[in-house]
Structure formats: C-alpha cells, structure tokens
Amino acid sequence: MNDPNGMFYLNGVYHLYYQWNPYGSQWENMTWGHSSSTDLINWKHEPTAIERDNLGTIFSGSCIVDKNNTAGFGQNAVVAFYTTEGRNQVQCLAYSTDGGKTFTKYDGNPILTDENRDFRDPKVFWNDQINAWNMILAVGQEMKIYSSKNLKDWTFESSFGSGFGCHDGVWECPDLIKFGDKWVLLCNINPGGIFGGSATQYFIGDFDGKKFVSTQKDTKWLDYGKDHYATVTFSNAPDNRKIAIAWMSNWQYGNNVPTKQFRSANSVPRDLFIFEADGDKFCGSKPSPELLKMRQGVIKTPSETCEIVATIKDNTQIKLSNSKNEYVTISYDKKSQVLKFDRKHSGDVSFSKDFAFETSVKVPGGSKELRIFVDKCSIEVFDSEGKAVMTNLVFPTEKYSQLSATGCKTVIYQLVK
C-alpha cells in the first residue's frame, strides 16, 4: 500500500481509503482499499472500495460529504474524486449513498482532463468564501485550482507554484487547509525531499477561493524524517480539527524494504496547526490526542510497541538498542535547538544505499519534551508541542530492548497492540 486517499468523517466513523495492489507487494494495479475507525487507533478492514475500469487504474484522490445535495446524489452522499491512470491521467467521480461502503461511478466520467501528462490527486473542499466547492490538483510542478457549484462541472481559476518551494521532482497529493484567516497548502514532492526522495513541503498564505498567494518564500517541510509522504487531512473532521495521515515510506526504497507480504503502513494521526516562532509562521504537527488512550502503563525497558516521553534538561541523547548491537540515536542540542535522528546502525540497511542516514531539524523556538512512538519497523519523534517531527523506518533483526539516555528524564509507556 502507499498513499492514504479519500479520508473523511461521518456519523462517528473515520474512513481511510488507500492506494494498494491487491495482487502483490510492490507498486502496481492501483486500487482503493478501505478501512474504518471510531477512534483513529483501532481500524477495521472493509471491502475494496473502487476498482479499475476501462479508463484505467485508480490513483489518489479525496472524498467529501455532500451535506446539501449539491451534486444531486442525495443529502449526505459521500462523493469521491480520484485520478484514473490509463492512456492519460484524468479526474473521475464516484458516489456512495451508504456512508462510503460502496461506490457508484458517475456516468459522465471523466469530469476533468488536461494535456499535461502529470495531472492528478484531486483534493475537494467546500469554501464558504465563494459558496462553492474548490478542487486543487497537482499538475506537473504546479497546483491548479478549480471551482464548482455541483461537483460535476469545474471552472479553472488559477495556478500556483512558479518561484515557490522545491521543484526537484513532480508535485503530488495536494491539500489546501484553512486555519482562521490563513491557509496552508500541502505539496508532496518526489523526488526532491529535504533528505532525498519523497517528502511533504508546505506553504502558508492567503486564499480567496480563486487564487492562493503564499506569504513565505523559503521552503518548509512538514516532517523532517525520510519516511513521511502523501500527507492529506480528513474531510468533515469533528470540531474543525485538521487531522493528517501520511504514507510512512519513501519512493527511494519503498518497493524494496526487507519485509515479506506486508509492505508499508501509515503514520500515526497528527493534528495540524499554525504557530509563530523565531519571527516566522510554521505548520505544526501534534500527535492526535486519541493516541494517549494507547498507553497501557509504565514499563522499565522498551517493548516492541511503546511511547517514550523524554523531558529535556540538557543536551540530550537517547539510544535504543538490542543484543545484536543494532541501534538508533536521537539527540537534541539545547543551544543550537537541533534535533537529530541517526539510523545508520538501526538493523538491516543493506537493501538501499539511501536508507542508512541521519535526519535533522532546527526546532522553531526550541524543545522541552519529546514524544517518541516506537513500533516494529518505525519510529516517529515529536516535539511534544508539535513544533517539529521526524518519521523514520527502521528494520532491526530483533526488537530494541534497551534504552540509555543522557540529559533528559525518560518515561516509557507500553502501547496497546
């Protein structure tokens, strides 16, 4: 599996669709799988949602809840927008009247075409400013913005991208999210990530329903690890939350990681927000509060799935290791405010020349505490206030069972499996 798709919330249930190959463990035969959850923690596998047709295979996209029946499929119909990859990449529509379990493809597909070969990943959202729907699409190395009253007929409004951000690869999987009077445009890029391969950059700016104007020139990244890509947020989330999930891998080696049958997972859910530090604005990522419910009590040594909370007192170094001398180190320098993650000796690193790596980030405003989520083959390190995060895969040949730490006080929580 790879990109999360079509994420929405309705009637107490989160729905997460995802790109996957039903017939193998490498990228091919793209199809929308489906899972659901009432708490963002425990997920139920659902039947396959959208399969290929005579137009082609099913690439990434989004879902909305049509509360006012603007498309004519019924009140609260779930409407999915996705890219079909065939002779060309085109945008298609399907709708569900049973809450997202089954979909009927629209007879008028495709609803949007373009002469550009890379034309994909529609994200659709309602915009009160224009009393209409917006769609943002990744087209080559820019984003195109459209508007519609009925979800079927779309009008091109503007493009964004020239002169902003990183352009070392194709732009993909956009999202455009409102935070008060500001907007954040998520732009996934591959290759060209800050540490190589795929990653998520973002832009903070203004949007009037027709044109997005970035108020920043420098390139910012949502996650400073190697393995956080195709980030998008849930539509219709409760309490106006901006809950993001990403594919937890990197196209440099995503097809070749040393696992059998299982290949790839999503990141833990994160609540996004805007904050100011060091005279600048940033998009922060906090672990979603539901993750606190996973704690099952304090343990003395790391388990295969645990959360480590480190209260920083001085220059900090945290080392997770096992009996085979496989280890990762997480360090924080109080003076420079730089957080680092070194996985060069984390276990099996032989499958890719790009895997053995150290990632780093200067935490805006500095860090007082870290929350570290350890799973069988991943470690996600958050500044507890959400000011920085780095997500990295690891493949130890046995679990990390030892923890040593200097410059901080640590507590280890067992996490429910």
CB 371 within 8 A of CB 287: yes
> Each residue of 224-275: pLDDT tens digit?
999 999 999 999 999 999 999 999 999 999 999 999 888 999 999 999 999 9
* Residue 54: burial class (beta carbons within 10 Å; 0-12, 13-18, 19+): exposed
- CATH for 409: 2.60.120.560
Residues 181 and 94 in one domain: yes
> Each residue of 354-386: pLDDT tens digit?
999 999 999 999 999 999 999 999 999 999 999
Look up residue 225 and give its two tokens: 């690890």
- Whether the per-residue pLDDT at 116 is higher than 80: the answer is yes
Active site residues: 3
Q: What total of structural domains would you count in the chain?
A: 2
- Whether the per-residue pLDDT at 110 is higher than 80: the answer is yes
pTM to 2 decimals? 0.97
Residues 193 and 320 in one domain: no
* pLDDT value of residue 260: 86
> Each residue of 64-108: pLDDT tens digit?
999 999 999 999 999 999 999 999 999 999 999 999 999 999 999
- Give the end of a domain, one of 287, 302, 322: 287
Residues 255 and 342 in one domain: no
* pLDDT value of residue 416: 87
* pLDDT value of residue 215: 95
Residues 210 and 228 in one domain: yes
> Each residue of 142-167: pLDDT tens digit?
999 999 999 999 999 999 999 999 99
Residues 30 and 115 in one domain: yes
Residues 303 and 229 in one domain: no
- CATH for 70: 2.115.10.20
Residues 327 and 202 in one domain: no
Angstrom distance (rounded) from CA 373 to CA 412: 10
Measured at the CA of 192, the angle between CA 188 and CA 193, to 5 degrees, comes to: 65
Collect all residues with Cβ–Cβ distance below 8 Å to 101 and sequence separation of at least 6.
34, 46, 47, 49
Look up residue 221 and give its two tokens: 């990244």
Residues 158 and 304 in one domain: no
* pLDDT value of residue 133: 98
Question: Nearest 10 degrees: CA dihedral of 89, 93, 94, 99?
Answer: 120
Q: Which domain holds residue 314?
A: 291-415
Residues 58 and 111 in one domain: yes
> Each residue of 299-338: pLDDT tens digit?
999 999 999 999 999 999 999 999 999 999 999 999 999 9
* pLDDT value of residue 388: 98
Residues 274 and 295 in one domain: no
Residues 81 and 112 in one domain: yes
pLDDT over 70, % of the chain: 100
* pLDDT value of residue 406: 98
- Give the end of a domain, one of 222, 255, 287: 287
- Give the end of a domain, one of 287, 321, 340: 287
Task: Assign residue 349 a region (left: φ > 0; alpha: ψ between -120 and 50; beta: otherwise).
Answer: alpha
* pLDDT value of residue 368: 98
Residues 221 and 313 in one domain: no
* pLDDT value of residue 217: 86
